[in-house]
A and B are shown apart, each in its own frame.
Chain A
């Protein structure tokens, strides 16, 4: 009981010193809980949406996806004849059956030819206005579409693009471009997750999306009273036979939900990963806090021991304080987590995905997970300092503060640290030398963990040397104040080491990813330069295929020497080794593609692969399936017949672009796949006549003005786009790593604040003999800067080593060029100096405000 009482008193007496540790726990727990609440809420939202929008039973074409998405390679949705609707209507237990037409392979533009599709990646849906959708959408202005010149748009999209009744919009599909005026605006009565939806009347939808009337993509079936969905499904299936897919509302919702869940899970685990990094960093902060509190309380603990407290009791009292800290931080963290989730929902709202706080879902597991994580991590982190506290001898009560450094512990630390670092280095070496990516990535993981641990252990020992070097380079300019700052940073290397290590972790990840990212860009650029022989690349950035009218526009552009179409589809292969490979990719292109992309071959000539009934495979595939030049492969094309293709070239699987592609010509594909099933072009390449690059580029851009969903890029633009894309991804990751870095900054603040308290008398003395407030503040700031730079130096060094190893490993996958982004590395280094300055703001201010006399008088 006494233990609890002293712990509680100590905890309350030092609540200021505990505050920053509590914030660290709070932030990490909040991030975890925020992620969980947010993803749960998204799930709830989608659940409700899918439950609300699915009809009792839906009939669709066999090849349609379970989620009801109606995309296909040829840009037209898979359809069924109108007779199916009549058959369904005749089935038992059917109250109503309505045929609908939908497509997501569409682009809608306004009269200015601006793309109305959501930028968030949510789909653009064009379909027939129907009774099922009328359940979840209310026409809030105008009327439902009627006749070919009318279209209705959802209210969110109308708001976002300032569309009003009477505005003209174009629906661009593989069938053609259809122009209509807005006749009505419909508002969702459930949460709209961000899709842009346009409604036509049924006949217009059929003509616009499929190209002919009398066909439907779906039949929405409503059950008669007393008929359950599974019953209805059985009845409908019995009526129409097995040619079509029949799903109950639950099945459709589940399929959709699974789709969304997959995406949400990726997001969830990525964010939890970053929360994990923050926790790791928080551990350092907590270790430091308790170490410093124990050090400051050495005499007190010595006294407790002298009057009869056992080691265990002392140990337990420190752990009890940790428990209190963990519980406080975690409870606040759970609360803050809900706040974060609401914030994220608002953010999604800004991006066009409207989530309602009514759906806010806090599962009972969320607070439990948060609390358990927070408490366990805090107690684990406090364990070492608690043990150290237990070891304090009763003699400490009599001695002046400041135990002599344990030289033996230092040697053990050095040995363990060096061993770990060396092990990590060796593992990294093995990873870089690995012949296979899978084995290598294991070594890479091991190397990263070991070298990180090694650096953490050996950090306090490195602090001496590194801080001295930094001191010579950075601090000497500041004269005696700089020197004192350096000495202060060196005074307790373990503390400096742990504080720096916290920053090191975040920055190591930043450095590693930036090296990998820029190596990616550099490798791709290098390969583009070496292998790409085309001037312009035309594509949709979301991966949508090019509609024929856009391809025609490209072909009609003046000043072009050649235009290459590029399609891809799948086929079932039967290879010479007798194996059958299902749903395997095959690329069909014009023969000129051999010029546009100079893929190296290991056997044969690439252009021969474009001869009739010929193809190429890459060397790994050839090796795996016993394929040689002249081998014949049976290829059963999707939506088409079976061909026997002769292998006339074997390509090298080196390189990033089109890695592992198997080529054949579009002409060959056309022999086996009927014209209306032919996949649309995925990419189109164009090359200008000599000396007409600039005019051709302009001409292409204006030719595609009406198709804003496609982008024309010359090689420079393409490289830039690649760079931007990777840059964007990196920025997102950096943003998430900011959490870990914030916790690390809290750690620096904490260390400084506790150091200032510890050095009260020294500060008083220095002030008495004439150190000005400004000089004092500068001294503390410089100490902070040195600690931050120390962490940055270790982190960046470690991160670059990881990044370089990863690149060596990925060289097997085509990441041939190592590029170290020095500008990023140097800015991070300089930035961390500012982080140090920032962290020292409050501690320096408080030190400056200290009353000289009180400081001197402090025991």
Chain B
């Protein structure tokens, strides 16, 4: 039996399965009877290890719900979700919390950092919570890669939006989680700062072998991914490998047109 909590491992395949997380026949429904709304409708998805996956879709398509379920933040109505070989559906809150703490990293759209802690304290927070010592060498590498070495003692309010998101990325990476989930991580940034953050996510996949899943509605952001999944009405309706911004945009227009005609 695989424990939900394992010693954190370096990202990358490392001889393990090529799938970092998978969903099987996942249904997420709210309400019941006539007011029942299905956010996820029997979704099957595999998240490849060491890859950058983007999830796209119009508002209300269920993309955020899918991410929340994969990340163990939300519960499913039926179906299974596995992180590596661990089934996380049905885990109790305590186990789920430990799982998030030790094996998953998060980057939210806004409000990623605790205002009372400075940058480095925010970065090491998950490890502090777990009572683990951060790996110095790794920390140095993360901090240098993110380019925040001279801002580590700053409080979040003293950092720009882009810098704040970079700190959030560094925090997600610092604990070497098996998988990082990003919920529109560049949604609040201007295009330049957004490009910086996205470039950094890309590099962490290429150079550090990190697995990343990102929800976005921005075709440019999606173009940084290895693979794009399209969600509509709670189902995966399409996917694309090695996308470019134009391709993504075309596909989105396509959906829009179809959505309007159907």
Q: Does B151 contact A (CB under 8 A)?
A: no
Interface residue ranges of B96-146 to A (CB < 8 Å): 97-98, 100-102, 105-106, 108, 111-112, 114-117, 125-126, 128-131
In the complex, chain A residues whose CB is within 8 Å of the CB of B159: none
Chain B's closest residue to A852 (CB) is B73
A510 to B105, CA, bound (A): 51
Within the complex, the shortest CB–CB distance from A257 to chain B, in Å, comes to 63
Q: Does B251 contact A (CB under 8 A)?
A: no
Within the complex, the shortest CB–CB distance from A767 to chain B, in Å, comes to 7
Chain B's closest residue to A481 (CB) is B129
Known: A491-B116, A768-B108, A770-B126. 11 other contacts (CB 8 A): A479-B128, A480-B129, A762-B111, A765-B111, A765-B114, A768-B73, A769-B125, A769-B126, A770-B97, A770-B129, A856-B73
Q: Does A368 contact B (CB under 8 A)?
A: no
Within the complex, the shortest CB–CB distance from A464 to chain B, in Å, comes to 13
A767 to B126, CA, bound (A): 10
Q: Does B93 contact A (CB under 8 A)?
A: yes
A480 to B134, CA, bound (A): 13
In the complex, chain A residues whose CB is within 8 Å of the CB of B102: 770
A853 to B74, CA, bound (A): 7
Given contacts A765-B111, A773-B97, contact A853 B68 (CB under 8 A): yes
A402 to B157, CA, bound (A): 10
Query: A479 contacts B94, CB within 8 Å?
Result: no
In the complex, chain A residues whose CB is within 8 Å of the CB of B97: 767, 770-773
Render B70-104 as a binary contact track against A, CB cut-off 8 A, 1 for contact. 00011000000000000000000110011011100
In the complex, chain B residues whose CB is within 8 Å of the CB of A852: 73
Query: B116 contacts A769, CB within 8 Å?
Result: no
Given contacts A769-B125, A769-B171, A770-B126, contact A484 B114 (CB under 8 A): yes
Query: B131 contacts A772, CB within 8 Å?
Result: no
A540 to B160, CA, bound (A): 80
In the complex, chain B residues whose CB is within 8 Å of the CB of A693: none
Interface residue ranges of A462-521 to B (CB < 8 Å): 479-481, 483-484, 487-488, 490-491
In the complex, chain B residues whose CB is within 8 Å of the CB of A853: 68, 73-74
Within the complex, the shortest CB–CB distance from A534 to chain B, in Å, comes to 66
Query: A766 contacts B116, CB within 8 Å?
Result: no
In the complex, chain A residues whose CB is within 8 Å of the CB of B73: 768, 852-853, 856
Within the complex, the shortest CB–CB distance from B100 to chain A, in Å, comes to 5
In the complex, chain A residues whose CB is within 8 Å of the CB of B114: 484, 762, 765-766
Query: B100 contacts A770, CB within 8 Å?
Result: yes
A762 to B116, CA, bound (A): 10
Query: A775 contacts B129, CB within 8 Å?
Result: yes
Q: Does A761 contact B (CB under 8 A)?
A: yes
Q: Which residues of A contact B (CB under 8 A)?
A: 402, 479-481, 483-484, 487-488, 490-491, 761-762, 765-773, 775, 852-853, 856
Given contacts A767-B97, A770-B102, contact A488 B116 (CB under 8 A): yes
CB<8 Å pairs between A and B, sample of 12: A402-B115, A479-B131, A483-B128, A487-B117, A490-B116, A767-B97, A768-B108, A769-B100, A769-B129, A772-B94, A772-B98, A773-B97
Those 5 A-B pairs whose CB atoms lie nearest each other, nearest first: A770-B101, A480-B128, A487-B116, A772-B97, A770-B100
Query: A484 contacts B117, CB within 8 Å?
Result: yes
A761 to B113, CA, bound (A): 10
Within the complex, the shortest CB–CB distance from B97 to chain A, in Å, comes to 5
In the complex, chain A residues whose CB is within 8 Å of the CB of B115: 402, 491, 762
Query: A769 contacts B111, CB within 8 Å?
Result: no
Interface residue ranges of B34-86 to A (CB < 8 Å): 68, 73-74
Interface SS, B side: helix
Within the complex, the shortest CB–CB distance from B180 to chain A, in Å, comes to 11
Within the complex, the shortest CB–CB distance from A858 to chain B, in Å, comes to 9
Given contacts A765-B111, A852-B73, A856-B108, contact A771 B129 (CB under 8 A): yes
A770 to B74, CA, bound (A): 14
A732 to B196, CA, bound (A): 68
A472 to B15, CA, bound (A): 46
Query: A770 contacts B128, CB within 8 Å?
Result: no
In the complex, chain A residues whose CB is within 8 Å of the CB of B101: 769-772
In the complex, chain B residues whose CB is within 8 Å of the CB of A765: 108, 111-112, 114
For A484, A762, A768, which residue has the most chain B Cβ atoms within 10 angstroms?
Answer: A768
In the complex, chain A residues whose CB is within 8 Å of the CB of B93: 773
A488 to B114, CA, bound (A): 10
In the complex, chain B residues whose CB is within 8 Å of the CB of A769: 100-101, 105-106, 125-126, 129, 171
A747 to B117, CA, bound (A): 26
In the complex, chain B residues whose CB is within 8 Å of the CB of A762: 111, 114-115
A768 to B125, CA, bound (A): 12
A856 to B171, CA, bound (A): 17
In the complex, chain B residues whose CB is within 8 Å of the CB of A490: 116
Query: A484 contacts B116, CB within 8 Å?
Result: yes
A457 to B240, CA, bound (A): 64
A769 to B102, CA, bound (A): 9
Determine which of B106, B116, B157 lies in contact with A768 in the assembled complex, contact meaning CB atoms within 8 Å.
Answer: B106
A856 to B131, CA, bound (A): 24
In the complex, chain A residues whose CB is within 8 Å of the CB of B131: 479-480
For B116, B125, B131, which residue has the most chain A Cβ atoms within 10 angstroms?
Answer: B116
In the complex, chain B residues whose CB is within 8 Å of the CB of A761: 111
Chain B's closest residue to A485 (CB) is B116
Render B165-203 as a binary contact track against A, CB cut-off 8 A, 1 for contact. 000000100000000000000000000000000000000
Query: B128 contacts A768, CB within 8 Å?
Result: no
Chain A's closest residue to B94 (CB) is A772
A562 to B200, CA, bound (A): 100
For A481, A491, A765, A766, which residue has the most chain B Cβ atoms within 10 angstroms?
Answer: A765
Within the complex, the shortest CB–CB distance from A617 to chain B, in Å, comes to 70
A773 to B93, CA, bound (A): 9
In the complex, chain B residues whose CB is within 8 Å of the CB of A481: 129
In the complex, chain A residues whose CB is within 8 Å of the CB of B68: 853
In the complex, chain B residues whose CB is within 8 Å of the CB of A767: 97
Query: A773 contacts B94, CB within 8 Å?
Result: yes
Within the complex, the shortest CB–CB distance from A148 to chain B, in Å, comes to 83
Chain B's closest residue to A772 (CB) is B97
In the complex, chain A residues whose CB is within 8 Å of the CB of B98: 770, 772
Within the complex, the shortest CB–CB distance from B156 to chain A, in Å, comes to 11
In the complex, chain B residues whose CB is within 8 Å of the CB of A772: 94, 97-98, 101, 129
A856 to B74, CA, bound (A): 12
In the complex, chain A residues whose CB is within 8 Å of the CB of B129: 480-481, 766, 769-772, 775
Chain A's closest residue to B130 (CB) is A770
Within the complex, the shortest CB–CB distance from A477 to chain B, in Å, comes to 13
Chain A's closest residue to B124 (CB) is A480
A286 to B100, CA, bound (A): 40
Determine which of B100, B106, B125 lies in contact with A480 in the assembled complex, contact meaning CB atoms within 8 Å.
Answer: B125
A773 to B73, CA, bound (A): 14
Within the complex, the shortest CB–CB distance from B105 to chain A, in Å, comes to 8
In the complex, chain B residues whose CB is within 8 Å of the CB of A487: 116-117
Within the complex, the shortest CB–CB distance from B2 to chain A, in Å, comes to 19
A768 to B177, CA, bound (A): 14
A775 to B117, CA, bound (A): 17
Within the complex, the shortest CB–CB distance from A852 to chain B, in Å, comes to 6
In the complex, chain A residues whose CB is within 8 Å of the CB of B126: 769-770
